[in-house]
Amino acid sequence: MKLLYYSPASYGGIADYAHEQANALVDLGIDVILLTTPKYQTGRGEKYKVVPILWEITLTQPLPHKLLKTIYSSSVILNNFTQLANFIERHNFQYVVLGSYVEYLAPLWSGRLRRLVKKGVVFAAIVHDPVRDFVVGPRWWHRWSIACGYSFLSQAFVHESINLDTVRPMPQLQTTVIPHGIYHFADANKSRQQIRASLNLPLDAKVMLAFGHIRDNKNLDLVIRAMVYFPDLYIVVAGQEQSLAQRPVAFYQELAQTLGVAERCRWEIRFIPDTEIGNFFVATDITILTYSSIFHSASGVLNTAINYRQPCLASSGESSFRSVIQKYDLGIWVEPDDVDAIVKGIKKIVENPPNPQWERYFQENSWFLNAKIVLHSFQTNVQLLFNL
């Protein structure tokens, strides 16, 4: 079986997910070709073939005007889906997985994929964020785009049972729950004492870690406000700013200065290479995952923290993220968007830490099981087509 995996994400949780899932599919005997960008990270033990022909949506230098940014990002989306369709036709792929569901500009690019479906191509997508409430343009366009984004799919893979809002009936679409495996990164290459010394952190202090992209819905500002109540608590913020549309890191640094907690904050504002990720988790005690109520997705940072067996302080809207934390006791859950709740959560996790069911999580949320369900769904779908 030959499978084309479309993933324009160069780095971050979606790219890491694609890497792990593609490797697991190869282990089941599938020939996987990953269509991605030239900036996609390789050298991580890829068992699949990488074809880096997609355009990169993230620019090294920001464009001076919002309209130019919109034009550029739109051209990237349209180009990449054109490249996808061309590659399918040139190499006669029957099975295609989209590394994440996307509806942006779908009325402009989905028609060609629907025509490929009529020729026997089977499309599936990993729906990491099933609640599509980020509206771009008029609402009627947003709703039409969501429908078009689902219109050519035979399978929608989700991480928790949900009735997807597809806008209009999609009788061809099956929704299948798959587990979210952990991200396997290297062990720390320095001791806890060495890393803490390099970050100027006391050896005996409790240290929180805010890891990954810096964006508004992670509520880092509320965590900084909560630090006022814990004079011996430190935080390490490690990751990049997500985009110009989000509050810059300077906002959080100024807030920490104003509140008098700046001396207990460490800022590593940069892309964190895979070889360094383990160092940050080994040096800290608690992963901060205080997403806002509008967050309904899974969390790549959670599945990185689990790899290093680090408990978390967490919040979000209804999501698979919330379900797995509570099911496996992976951390302390607090109500989202509430400083007082975060204060109580920090006090609880410091004084009465949870007892996470790490081994149970590993067994029930493996990439092997993830890939096995994906493969079975394709085989079932093909059988249904033959029976029609």
pLDDT digits (tens, 9 = 90+) for 68-99: 778 888 999 999 999 999 999 999 999 999 99
Strand 95-98 relative to strand 174-177: parallel, antiparallel, unpaired?
unpaired
- Hey, do 2-179+366-387 and 192-364 end up sharing a CATH topology, with the first three levels equal? yes
Residue 264 · residue 233 · CB < 8 Å: yes
pLDDT tier at 387 (50, 70, 90 boundaries)? very low
- 277 to each of 189, 258, 351, how far by Cα in Å? 10, 30, 27
CATH class name, domain 192-364: alpha beta
**How much is the average pLDDT of 351-356?**
94
- 381 to each of 20, 128, 186, 297, how far by Cα in Å? 23, 21, 37, 26
The pLDDT, as a whole number, for residue 63 is: 62
- Whether 336 has a pLDDT exceeding 70, the answer reads yes
Q: Which residue type occupies 284?
A: T
Q: For domain 2-179+366-387, which CATH number applies: 1.10.10.10, 3.40.50.150, 3.40.50.2000, 3.40.50.620?
A: 3.40.50.2000
- Model confidence pLDDT, tens digit, residues 251-282: 999 999 999 999 999 999 999 999 999 999 99
The pLDDT, as a whole number, for residue 59 is: 59
Give the closest residue to 354 by CA, choosing from 327, 331, 383.
Answer: 331
pLDDT tier at 64 (50, 70, 90 boundaries)? low
Q: Which residue type occupies 329?
A: D
For the entire predicted model, the pTM comes to: 0.90
- Whether 135 has a pLDDT exceeding 60, the answer reads yes
Q: What percent of the chain has pLDDT over 90?
A: 84
Give CA–CA dist 140/148, Å, rounded.
Answer: 12
pLDDT tier at 206 (50, 70, 90 boundaries)? very high
- 333 to each of 166, 169, 326, 343, how far by Cα in Å? 30, 36, 7, 12
Residue 99: both structure tokens together: 């590394």
Q: Which residue type occupies 313?
A: L
- Model confidence pLDDT, tens digit, residues 180-197: 999 989 899 999 999 999
Domain boundaries, the chain: 2-179+366-387, 192-364
